[in-house]
Structure 1
């Protein structure tokens, strides 16, 4: 298998961003395990292209490019800040443009950042059902990090770092297994 197509959707609405920093640490962990080609899409940059659109045909070129990247990912990293107990509306709006079968079996790493521990269940109660709708394979280890885990440039809490490494291993394993199944199906 060649390089994995790793696509990141970071729900950050500003810059600098703790959410983007977390997503980049996940990318680094995956890159230590296997060769990757990375494509990062930040909502802060995509907002003008996707915000006013009501259906995929109204998307600007940046929005269409992001959708094509998401649909062809070998691994998707979906990272969002927590706003009022959930992902941002713009984050959901982007995924609303996808065909319901677009992510079928695609390994997805779920990640979120928030101000405190009270929002940690966003992974299980908000993100996992969203990607379950698409038939994606959300890896078992989600990653939630708080402001106190952030040292100003990186997340350094040992538990967060362990979850990043575990999720990366799970996603790479799932992507490689899916690719092997697809090769076998084509050969049959």
Structure 2
């Protein structure tokens, strides 16, 4: 099924609200979400090289836009890198782009994918859902803002353990159903 860009964004927002924010997986996400400072961009790029161009355009957009307007960007790419192993390999290319184009120290990119799997976990382990999103996605983060958020957080080192505990307590089946429910958001088709 081919969705509209509005549907991809609605599905992503549903996931953000019902997983990331609801379970406080990223305590730094609440402020930009509530302030309307998250930019949602859907790309129709189907090839990694075109996605890389889209990523660079979004990094430039973020660089040119004050944080008060756009704090962070979610680059949703439903037609590219649908296979998690290919997606995971692409993250090395993303890191190289950040270094080559002078974005290191200014931006970092977090990764989310419907089939996300951490090293040393099984595919169906609930903790993988901390990074499982409805669609493959790159999250562009301002380093300065992240540093400020970390400085004001009482125990940053406890966040990963909290997330794993939360995901495991709810179980993989719960998370699968939430993602499935989010995929029903904005189901108008093109």
Structure number with greater CO (CA < 8 Å, separation at least 6) is 2
- Give yes or no for TM over 0.5: no
TM-score (norm 2): 0.37
